[in-house]
Amino acid sequence: MSAGLLVAVLLASALLEGSGWAGGVGDGNLRLSVTVNGRADSDVRPPEVRVGAWVVKRYRLLNVSEADLHRVRVLDPGAPAGSVRCPAVLPAAEEAECTARFRAVAGRHVHPVRAEGDVPALRTRLTATARAGYAGVAGALGLTEEVVVATPGTGGGGASATVTYTVTNRGNLPLYTVRVEDPGLALAPGAPDCGGQGGTVAVLAPDTSAFCRTTVRLRPGTYRSAGRASGSDRATTLGTGGERVTAPLLTAGASAVFVVREAPVAPVPRTPAPGAPAAGSSAGAAGASAGAGAVPAPGAPGALARTDTNAGTGTGTDAAGRPAAPAAPGAGAAPGAVPPSSVSPGAVPPAPPPGLRRAAGVDDEGFLGRVRRRGREAAEFGVATTLLLLLIPAAVAAALLGSRRK
């Protein structure tokens, strides 16, 4: 072998040993590439994935060394912990794939990714790095509502209820043509007023809200409002295999239960009968009649007195409107009669006691009749009373006879 050829062989051997080939293990022997939902340049153009949809990351590892790699693993801060799966061993001069599958969250998530593998015989660890990630996008529609019921007026007919619907975009993309409806109240299309746009919010930016209101007249009862909102962010995203996914219709709902009270009935004014005294003077007229002891003739006004606070106290007014003095009990009434104010309509007055009936005929008795009657009552009054009753009339008679003889 010539000297020049020997130098060339030694130089090539040195170069191969320095690069890790020819049985060597060195830097650059492990290579890494990452695709996210089918896109390989996710470090520059992260794919847009709808929030809540699946993100699939594929990590391609190539071992160009002549040693097997053990405890192969991928460290990716953009993937949930424990979501990356890798083979335990990556043989020399072969490739393998690690995968991660998880739900997308809102925001941009592009991070450096690190792959590692150990060579236990040489106590060496090979590494490789790359950048990859995705952007979680979506408009998120929210809806709340509030109901205010007006106080019912008199006369019946229910009351009005004002419902306020609050639509909110909680996502990171604008929402377009957000429509508000309420099938629970059977509103007409476009009934809620959303700023003069007929039940529709044209554009709702991220982290903003809009208000829609409607007022309905309802009969008394219990009602349930069922608000519904719908709209779209018009964003096309990527699926797990890189396919294009059109924007879905976003919806949100809310409900509220409320009660419409019965309206109070307006009082009906009482009209007095023809010829009857006014309500304010009936008590005074009845009191004046009771104080004078007069009994109204049948059929005359005030024959049956109305009961009020003045009648209960036995007071009234005279013809001049002055308070009349209360009448003494029994004044101006015939024996055994019952005052008209104490007789209810249709009731039969009680009969006078027997003692009053007996006293009514006293004025028609003569002297002998009175003596006989006193004798009959002797058993009731006793001997002393009987003697007193007999002696007093006899003394009066003797006096009268003596005065005539003179």
Residue 372 pLDDT > 90: no
What domains can you pick out in the chain, each with its CATH number? 16-137 (2.60.40.10), 141-260 (2.60.40), 283-296+303-321 (no CATH), 370-397 (no CATH)
Beta-carbon contacts of 34 under 8 Å, excluding residues fewer than 6 positions away, are 40, 42, 57, 58, 59, 60, 113, 130, 132
Q: Which one is predicted more confidently, 169 or 277?
A: 169
Cα distances from 256 to residues 42, 145, 278, 332, in angstroms, run: 46, 7, 52, 73
128 vs 361, which has greater pLDDT? 128
pLDDT confidence of residue 9: 38
pLDDT at 10 > cutoff 60:
no
| Residues 144/57, Cβ–Cβ less than 8 Å | no
Q: Which two tokens stand for residue 153?
A: 């007026």
Structure tokens at 353: 């006691």
DSSP E strands in 46-169: the ranges are: 48-50, 54-63, 69-75, 84-85, 89-90, 95-103, 107-119, 124-137, 141-149, 159-169
Q: Would you place residue 136 in the very low, low, confident or very high pLDDT band (cuts 50, 70, 90)?
A: very high
For 165-227, give the DSSP string: EEEEE-SSS-EEEEEEE-GGGTPPTT-SBSSSSSSEEEEE-TTEEEEEEEEEEE-SEEEEEEE
* 305/327 Cα distance (integer angstroms): 16
The predicted model gives 185-195 an average pLDDT of 86
Q: How confident is the model at residue 88 (pLDDT cuts 50, 70, 90)?
A: very high
Give 376 or 110, the one with higher predicted confidence: 110
pLDDT at 345 over 80: no
CB atoms within 10 A of CB 398: 10
- Kind plus residue range of the DSSP H or E element containing 235: none
Which pLDDT value is given to residue 395? 80
Predicted pLDDT at 307 = 34
| Predicted pLDDT of residue 21 | 42
Given the DSSP bridges, would you call strands 124-137 and 48-50 parallel, antiparallel or unpaired?
A: parallel
Q: Can you give the length of the chain in residues?
A: 406
Q: How confident is the model at residue 299 (pLDDT cuts 50, 70, 90)?
A: very low
Concatenate the DSSP letters of all residues of 39-76 into one string.
BS-TTTSPPEEETTSEEEEEEEEEE-SSS-EEEEEEE-
Q: What is the pTM for the complete model shown? A: 0.56
N-term to C-term CA, the chain:
211
**Please, what is the average pLDDT of the chain?**
76
When comparing pLDDT for 168 and 314, which is higher?
A: 168
| Closest of 49, 88, 82 to residue 68, by C-alpha | 88
pLDDT at 313 over 60: no
Residue 274 has pLDDT above 90, yes or no: no
pLDDT digits (tens, 9 = 90+) for 50-80: 999 999 999 999 999 999 999 999 999 999 9
